[in-house]
Structure 1
Amino acid sequence: MLIVHLALRDLVRDRFFLFCNIAVMIGILVPLLVLFGVKNGVYSALIGEMLADPANRQIDTRGNAAFSEAEIAALRDWPEIVFMTPKVRGQFDYMNVRAVDGRRMRPALVLPSGAGDPTLPTGATLAPDAVAISAQLAAQLDLSEGAEVQLISQAEGRPRQLVLPVRVGHVLPEAAVSGRTVLAHFQMLDLIEAYYESYSLPEYGIQGTRDLSQRVVSYEGVRVYVDRLENLAGLQTRLEQHLGVATSARTRDVEALLGLGRKLDLALGLTTVLAALGLGAALVLGFWSDVGRKKLVLAGIALLGVSGRRLALFPMVQALVTALAGLVLSFLLYAVAGQAAAALFGQGLPDGAPLAIITWPQALAICGAVLMLVLGAAAVAAWSVQRLDPASVLREGA
């Protein structure tokens, strides 16, 4: 198209105008891109560090209550819950742990677990006779995966202690659980509770005062994991209302981090709006003044039979080229600035996480917004071109 060709040739000839507008874009876009990238990088690193600890998504009921199977079963249909297991009474969840034929023995907290437990390695399962143990317990007893161990009760004065032979299915990393901890199926903890309640366990040589067949399984609490950190506070409130008990979770820490993210988004949003207003005003004045300088040329083109609508493409084409060049250079300079910032300040991030991150969808959204802003600024100049009266302009120029 003739008008596109003329606009491009004019832009190359009048390079100073092009360089000025690109410099304005770079001066505003690069600092914003760096701020946005650093905010993404630091916040993603903090969120990733928090997600790496499954306890941040855990909700536990406090105290001992009595829940029916119906009350527990209803929770399984809640979409926010990715894993749930009932718990036994708190005074029955400690056992001594000893390697088979080992001399050392350590007390450990026994927690209910099962398939899908976020505390376990991804995709890992526990066999009915297997347990997962914490790194601290494994180090103190010199245990590894596959080791045969015994869980021994702590009932002083009883004629016979309960001894459960189990196998170490997984040794959990330090970030997964702290202290001396054993994760086992709820059925194993229920068996331990039955022992402490003086039920007979003939399979283990335990003679109690009550028959096990008469025992009714009860749930004294639940251990729940939420799917997303954003749902932790809401799920905790809903659980307390449904079960009528108090719960414990790291809601305050999670909400503090999420609140920080919202505040950073707000501050960055306000900064972006102000920067966009400044960039838009500068570009409007720039394109408007450029059209004013070229009125005689544009009027001459109009006299050749070019319509006002086609003539309005003149500043729009130049604005599009300016925007594309400004975006390319801005992202290149952002990459350089991001590398420099990472070299200076990125060492403190966990696991070598990148300091500045802008994803492809975010980059495309930024490009789209900048193109709309620049073309919107050029539209004002295009409107003035459409209102141009070639005869009047040429007469005034003469």
Structure 2
Amino acid sequence: MLIARLAWRDLMRDRFFLFCNVAIMVGILVPLLVLLGVKNGVYSALIGEMMADPATLQIDTQGNAALVDGDLAPLREWPEIAFMTPKVRSQFDFMNVRAKGGRRMRPALVVPSGAGDPTLPEGAEISGNAVAVSAQLAAQLELQTGSALQLISQAEGRPRQLVLSATVAAVLPEGAVSGRAVLAPFHMLDLIEAFYDSYSLPEHGITGTRDLTERVPSYEGVRVYARTLADVAGLQARIERQLSIGTTARTREIESLLGLGRKLNLALGLTAALAALGLGAALVLGFWSDVSRKRVVLAGIALLGVPGHVLALFPVVQALITSVAGLAVSFLLYLGAGRIAAAMFGQGLPGGAALTVIPPGQGVAICAGVLVLVLGAAAVAAWSAQRLDPASVLREGA
């Protein structure tokens, strides 16, 4: 296209104008990019550190409630819940644990679990007689994946104790669960509770005072995991309303971090808006003054038969070239500044996370926003070019 070639050649001949506009863009964009990158990097590192602990998303009920299946059924349909399991009464969730054939025995908390439990390592399946054990219990009893163990009740004075055989499906990493714990399918805990309630368990050779067929399942509470950090506060309140029971969760810590993110976004947004106003004003004046300075040249091009709407593309093409050059230089300088900042301040981030991060999608959005801003500034110059009267301009020049 003729007008594009003319605009390019004119811009290359008058490179000082290009240099000035690129310098203006770089001076405004690079600090904003660095601020955005640092905000993303630090905030993502904090979120990642919080999400690395599955307990962050956990909501536990408190107290000794008496819930039935009908109370819990509505919760299973809630989209905010990633995993949920009932809990038995707390006085019945401790068992003695030993490796099969071993002589050492340790008391351990038995926690209801199952498929989808975020506490479990990826790929671990808890079903049937498969269980997961905490790192501390595994170390004390020398357990590993595939080991056979026994859960033995603690009912003193009973003629026969309940003994449940299980297989270690996974050893939990350090910090996943504190102390000695066994994560087991809920049916195991339900069986333990039935034993302590003196029900007969013929399959285990235990005769009690009550018939198991008459037992109505009752739950002390629920153990729930939210899908996202943003769901925790609302889900906790909703569970309390639905079940009329108190809960515990790390809501205050989560809300504090999410609130920090919102405040940082607001501050950065206001800064970016002010910077955009300044950049837009500078570019409008720059492009408009350049068209005014080249009125004679543009009038000559118009006398060659170039219509006004095509002539208006002259400053637009130059603005497009300027914006691409400004963005390229800005991102290159941002990468350099990011490496310097990481070398000076990035060592303290959790998990070795990067100090400055701008995701590809965000980078594309920034480029699109800058292009719109620059082309909008060029529109004023384009309007001025389109209104040129070649005869009047050349007469004034003569």
Do they superpose with TM above 0.5?
A: yes
Report what 1:247 is aligned to.
247
Deviation at 1:56, TM superposition (A): 0.9
Deviation at 1:49, TM superposition (A): 1.7
Report what 1:260 is aligned to.
260
Q: 1:111-122 maps to which residues of 2 (within 5 A)?
A: 111-122=111-122
Aligned-partner Cα distance in 2 for 1:263–1:137: 43
Report what 1:191 is aligned to.
191
Aligned-partner Cα distance in 1 for 2:355–2:96: 45
Report what 2:288 is aligned to.
288
Q: Could you say what secondary structure the match of 1:104 adopts?
A: coil
Percent of aligned pairs with the same amino acid: 74
Aligned-partner Cα distance in 2 for 1:22–1:176: 52
Aligned-partner Cα distance in 2 for 1:189–1:254: 31
Q: Could you say what secondary structure the match of 1:169 adopts?
A: strand
Deviation at 1:315, TM superposition (A): 0.6
Report what 2:68 is aligned to.
68
- Aligned 8 A contact 1:201 1:212 in 2: yes
Aligned-partner Cα distance in 1 for 2:321–2:204: 82
Q: Could you say what secondary structure the match of 2:77 adopts?
A: coil
Q: Could you say what secondary structure the match of 1:76 adopts?
A: helix
Q: Could you say what secondary structure the match of 2:305 adopts?
A: coil
Amino acid across the alignment from 2:359:
T
Report what 1:22 is aligned to.
22
Aligned-partner Cα distance in 2 for 1:341–1:172: 37
Report what 2:169 is aligned to.
169
Aligned-partner Cα distance in 1 for 2:107–2:25: 65
- Aligned 8 A contact 1:63 1:90 in 2: no
Report what 1:305 is aligned to.
305
Report what 2:37 is aligned to.
37
Aligned-partner Cα distance in 2 for 1:325–1:183: 58
Q: 1:1-398 maps to which residues of 2 (within 5 A)?
A: 1-398=1-398
Q: CA offsets, 1:58-79, max 9 Å, x none?
A: 1111112122212212211111
Aligned-partner Cα distance in 2 for 1:71–1:169: 31
Q: Could you say what secondary structure the match of 2:70 adopts?
A: helix
- Aligned 8 A contact 1:95 1:154 in 2: yes
Deviation at 1:94, TM superposition (A): 1.3
Aligned-partner Cα distance in 2 for 1:150–1:157: 20
- Aligned 8 A contact 2:34 2:337 in 1: yes
Deviation at 1:185, TM superposition (A): 0.7
- Aligned 8 A contact 1:52 1:175 in 2: no
Deviation at 1:303, TM superposition (A): 2.3
Query: What TM-score do you get using the length of structure 2 for normalisation?
Result: 0.96
Amino acid across the alignment from 2:137:
L
Alignment gaps of 5+ in structure 1: none
Q: How many residues align?
A: 398
Amino acid across the alignment from 2:396:
E
Q: Could you say what secondary structure the match of 1:119 adopts?
A: coil
Deviation at 1:183, TM superposition (A): 0.3
The CA RMSD over aligned residues, in Å, is: 1.5
Q: Could you say what secondary structure the match of 1:149 adopts?
A: strand
Deviation at 1:205, TM superposition (A): 3.4
Aligned-partner Cα distance in 2 for 1:236–1:314: 60
Deviation at 1:231, TM superposition (A): 1.0
- Aligned 8 A contact 2:115 2:127 in 1: no
